[in-house]
Amino acid sequence: MDRGYEKEAFTCLSIKKSIAKKYRRFCKTQGTSQSLTLMAMVEFFEHNGLSPQERLGETIASLKYLVKRRFNALIAILRSIEKEQTLPTMGMIQALFEQELENENEEWENEFDFIEKQLSEPENSKEPDLEMEVMVPKIRLDRLEEKHQELKEDFKYVLNQVRMFRNRFGKDHLKLEINPEALDKYRTKLEN
């Protein structure tokens, strides 16, 4: 018996035989009585505001694919932040700490040598301290090389989309077979 419904009487519903068999098999797989299964189904539809005739727009698999794509986009954004912001900053901080450690290890003798060099050498022959300036330009150089490589690949793609058209009565002309969205993307990339 169904708990909470022991005193209620049964009633009949007019259902086709094939549907009734299918429903009974479904109730057995759920492990509940026919009454409780039907009540649970009706409550589900009422609670979620659904109609049995309507189909849900997307399947679980398509929603899973959409979530996976969004996670991949998020990971790409985080990697980009790490590559363009965190690593160069870390490199600059590390270079500063290394410079500071080198300065701490030097004793008074090096400072006197520096003063002696200043007095003995003329002012025009001073060479700037290049050690400090090496780390930051190296990072900028790497970043510029990556951007240069990307621009070369984009330019190759655009050149591969150019077609020559011969005109019988006038000058020959070139035609770019690329969609406007891609063209706008390349324009903004070059402007930035």
**Three-state DSSP class for 78?**
helix
pLDDT of residue 118: 55
pLDDT of residue 136: 58
pLDDT of residue 180: 82
Q: Give mean pLDDT, residues 156-179.
A: 81
In terms of pLDDT, which residue wins out, 151 or 117?
151
Distance CA 27, CA 19 (A): 12
Q: Give mean pLDDT, residues 139-167.
A: 83
pLDDT of residue 17: 92
pLDDT of residue 18: 94
Q: Is the pLDDT of residue 75 over 80?
A: yes
Residue keyed to tokens 């309507």:
54
End-to-end C-alpha distance for the chain, whole angstroms: 73
Q: Which long-range contacts (CB under 8 A, 24 or more apart) does 152-157 make?
A: 154/186, 154/189
Strand partners, 175: 163
Q: What is the pLDDT of residues 18-72, one digit of tens each?
A: 999 999 999 999 888 888 899 988 888 888 777 777 766 666 677 788 888 888 8
Q: What is the pLDDT of residues 80-123, one digit of tens each?
A: 887 777 777 777 777 777 776 666 655 544 555 555 565 555 55
Identify the sign of the CA torsion 147, 152, 158, 160. Answer: negative
- Identify the weakest region by mean pLDDT among 71-75, 86-90, 143-147, 175-179: 86-90
Distance CA 175, CA 163 (A): 5
pLDDT of residue 143: 82
